[in-house]
């Protein structure tokens, strides 16, 4: 459960007794320099003494927030945010300050905001979002619940700013991000395709979405040979494509969200070595992001119809598993020559994109932990995007800057495709050579989207040790915030 937010218009009084308090100050000229004389805020004397002791200038608490115990027994953290810096930096800076307090495991956290009206709004929005996202506890199977000690944050008391809308959009964004991370960290024996689908079905029921599962029997009958090739390696016949639908009366825009949901990627017959197979329960992150975004957009009441398509399967080794040199026929009729069974993501996505395309959405966005080469190219602080529309590419990059989930655009020029030329089938699944596989994978997928305006996100930032931007856990939920911003941008420009 996400923490309850209580808003108080008035600033906090120095005499008010509190346990954990986050003080957020805007970086502004009058706060620059050696002393903080011109303004007043909670715990100012203690902060000044601390800065003096550590020979720090006040501006240094911009990137390096500090905390101290006050005489009245409370723990106070102070942070200064430069609203001219990139949103990513602002979020990271607040997250660092918040961590100093959350490490004590409070159930209630107080936040006090200072600055002029505009600054207060921006700072409050940042602070509340970052606190919601990090106050939630991810699933843990430790039997000793006290170690590491941490309570789930139940209540946020915000002082100095009141927002009439009650932060609905930010709450939805946080809920979507948390859902995507919760699902992603679950161990693979707790999130088999069958268990995953049951969870989604339950959520769909409580949120009022239409739920439909294209199971293997149906997919075989339809001729979704690319999806089935991957799914047939599992004994349990529980793989399938889940379709969720949200319709808004009067809305003239429909967005399709697609996600790679490989609940475990062994690599198949081209088996991954232990070092690389470890962590492959997170290979369903793309589907969790699509689902989290779907939840966020629904709860935020965005004026948009959404179809969400989740390609849920496992990539296993076994007597029936697909193998190199197999030729399979995809749902759109194209024949695909299998080169490497570890390139299973593009296989399950091919047919899922074909299905989604049939409904003629205005825009289609897919999310996938698709290639190791994207991670080699970008590391895990950015994700890469591809699009068949220059306009969407620009909107994607701009959305990344606006929400703090940063993306870089990659090329998809057709001459790269020569590496996917097959002598026996219409296309090779991938190349035997490792170069630019993220580009080849995107080009492969582009075959299945027709003329639909489309963005493909290769989620190199799904996991970043120590957290990323607003999020403090290793699994980041990257893509939910970006997607929400992207949909808002698309709606604004219609």
Q: By rule CB under 6 A, what count of residues binds ligand BES?
A: 15
Q: Which residue has the tokens 């915000």?
A: 158
Partner from Zn ion, ligand BES, none contacting 340, C-beta within 5 to 8 A by type = ligand BES
d(CA 228, CA 326): 13
Minimum Å gap between C-beta 270 and Zn ion is 8
Q: Does 351 bind ligand BES (CB under 6 A)?
A: no
Residue 256 C-alpha from the chain's centroid: 17
Token pair in block for residue 169: 């959009």
Interface residue with ligand BES among 11, 63, 223, 372 (CB under 6 A) is: 372
Interface residue with ligand BES among 74, 232, 371, 464 (CB under 6 A) is: 371
Partner from ligand BES, Zn ion, none contacting 371, C-beta within 5 to 8 A by type = ligand BES
Q: Which is nearer to ligand BES, 339 or 490 (CB)?
A: 339
**Residue 420 per-residue DSSP state:** G
In degrees to the nearest 10, what's the CA dihedral of 289, 379, 388, 363?
Answer: 20
C-alpha triplet 415, 420, 422: angle, nearest 5°: 125
Q: Which is nearer to ligand BES, 148 or 379 (CB)?
A: 379
Catalytic entry in 220, 272, 299, 381:
272
Q: Which is nearer to Zn ion, 182 or 458 (CB)?
A: 458
User: Per-residue contact track with Zn ion, 255 to 294, x per CB under 5 A?
Assistant: -------x--x-----------------x-----------
Q: Which is nearer to ligand BES, 297 or 374 (CB)?
A: 374
In degrees to the nearest 10, what's the CA dihedral of 422, 423, 425, 427?
Answer: 10
β-partners of residue 5 are 156
Contact segment (CB under 6 A) with ligand BES among 82-90, 367-375, 399-407, 417-425 equals 367-375
Q: Which is nearer to ligand BES, 158 or 420 (CB)?
A: 420
d(CA 412, CA 422): 19
Q: 40-56: b or e for each residue (b if 16 or more CB lie within 10 Å)? A: ebbbbebbeebbeeeee
Contact segment (CB under 6 A) with ligand BES among 11-19, 94-102, 335-343, 388-396 equals 335-343
Q: Which is nearer to Zn ion, 345 or 479 (CB)?
A: 345
Minimum Å gap between C-beta 262 and Zn ion is 5
Minimum Å gap between C-beta 270 and ligand BES is 7
Catalytic residue check, 381? no
Q: Does 366 bind ligand BES (CB under 6 A)?
A: no
Q: Which is nearer to Zn ion, 98 or 368 (CB)?
A: 368
Q: Does 474 bind ligand BES (CB under 6 A)?
A: no
Of 425, 95, 494, the closest CA to residue 255 belongs to: 494
Q: Which is nearer to ligand BES, 22 or 430 (CB)?
A: 430
Task: Give the helix ranges, DSSP H, for 359-416.
Answer: 372-378, 390-403
Catalytic residue check, 272? yes
Which residues 247-266 are close enough to bind ligand BES by CB under 6 A? 265
For residue 116, the tally of other CB atoms under 10 A from its CB is 9
Which residues 338-397 are close enough to bind Zn ion by CB under 5 A? 342, 344-345
Minimum Å gap between C-beta 429 and ligand BES is 8
Going from the C-alpha of 465 to that of each of 142, 404, 406, the distances in angstroms are: 20, 17, 16
The SS3 of residue 53 is helix
Maximum separation of any 2 CA atoms in the chain, in Å: 79
Contact segment (CB under 6 A) with ligand BES among 24-32, 66-74, 371-379, 416-424 equals 371-379
Which long-range contacts link 357-360 to residues 24+ away (Cβ below 8 Å)? 357/256, 357/448, 357/449, 357/450, 357/452, 359/254, 359/256, 359/307, 360/254, 360/452
Catalytic entry in 173, 181, 346, 406:
346
d(CA 408, CA 398): 10
Interface residue with ligand BES among 119, 337, 344, 351 (CB under 6 A) is: 344
Interface residue with ligand BES among 329, 340, 389, 422 (CB under 6 A) is: 340
Token pair in block for residue 261: 């949901």
Which residues 427-446 are close enough to bind ligand BES by CB under 6 A? 430, 437
360 Cβ partners below 8 Å, 6+ apart? 254, 452
Minimum Å gap between C-beta 345 and ligand BES is 4
Residues of the shown chain interacting with ligand BES in the complex, contacts defined by CB under 6 A: 265, 283, 340, 342-345, 369-373, 375, 430, 437
User: Which residues are marked as active site?
Assistant: 272, 346
């Amino acid at each position: 459960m996400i923490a309850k937010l209580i808003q108080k218009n008035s600033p906090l009084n120095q005499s008010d007794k509190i346990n954990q308090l986050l003080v957020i100050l805007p970086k502004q000229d009058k706060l620059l320099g050696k002393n903080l004389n011109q303004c007043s805020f909670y715990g100012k004397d203690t902060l000044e003494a601390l800065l003096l002791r550590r020979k720090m200038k006040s501006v240094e608490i911009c990137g390096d927030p500090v905390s101290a115990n006050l005489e009245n027994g409370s723990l106070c953290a102070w942070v200064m945010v430069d609203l001219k810096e990139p949103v990513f930096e602002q979020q990271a800076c607040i997250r660092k300050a918040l961590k100093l307090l959350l490490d004590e495991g409070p159930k209630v956290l107080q936040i006090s905001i200072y600055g002029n009206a505009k600054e207060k709004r921006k700072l409050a929005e940042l602070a509340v979002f970052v606190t919601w996202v990090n106050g939630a506890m991810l699933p843990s199977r430790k039997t000793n619940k006290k170690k590491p000690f941490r309570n789930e944050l139940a209540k946020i008391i915000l002082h100095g700013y009141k927002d009439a809308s009650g932060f609905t959009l930010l709450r939805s964004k946080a809920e979507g991000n948390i859902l995507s991370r919760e699902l992603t960290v679950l161990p693979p024996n707790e999130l088999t395709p069958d268990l995953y689908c049951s969870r989604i079905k339950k959520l769909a029921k409580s949120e009022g979405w239409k739920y439909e599962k294209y199971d293997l029997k149906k997919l075989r009958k339809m001729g979704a040979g690319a999806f089935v090739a991957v799914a047939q390696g599992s004994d349990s016949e529980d793989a399938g494509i889940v379709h969720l639908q949200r319709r808004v009366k009067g809305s003239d825009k429909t967005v399709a969200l697609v996600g790679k949901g490989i609940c475990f990627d062994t690599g198949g017959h081209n088996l991954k070595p232990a070092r690389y197979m470890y962590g492959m329960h997170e290979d369903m992150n793309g589907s969790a992001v699509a689902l989290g975004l779907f939840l966020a957009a629904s709860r935020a009441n965005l004026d948009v119809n959404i179809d969400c398509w989740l390609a849920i399967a496992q990539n296993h080794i076994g007597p029936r598993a697909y193998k190199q040199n197999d030729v399979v026929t995809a749902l759109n009729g194209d024949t695909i020559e299998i080169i490497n069974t570890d390139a299973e993501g593009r296989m399950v996505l091919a047919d899922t994109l074909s299905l989604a395309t049939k409904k003629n959405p205005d825009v289609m966005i897919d999310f996938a932990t698709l290639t190791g080469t994207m991670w080699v190219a970008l590391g895990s602080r950015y994700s890469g995007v591809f699009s068949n529309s220059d306009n969407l590419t620009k909107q994607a990059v701009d959305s990344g800057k606006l929400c703090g989930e940063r993306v870089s655009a990659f090329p998809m020029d057709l001459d790269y495709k020569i590496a996917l030329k097959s002598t026996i089938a219409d296309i090779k699944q991938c190349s035997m050579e490792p170069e630019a596989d993220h580009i080849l994978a995107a080009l492969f997928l582009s075959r299945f989207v027709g003329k639909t305006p489309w963005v493909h996100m290769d989620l190199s930032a799904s996991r970043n040790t120590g957290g990323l931007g607003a999020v403090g856990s290793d699994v980041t939920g990257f893509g939910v915030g970006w997607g929400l911003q992207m949909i808002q941008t698309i709606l604004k420009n219609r």
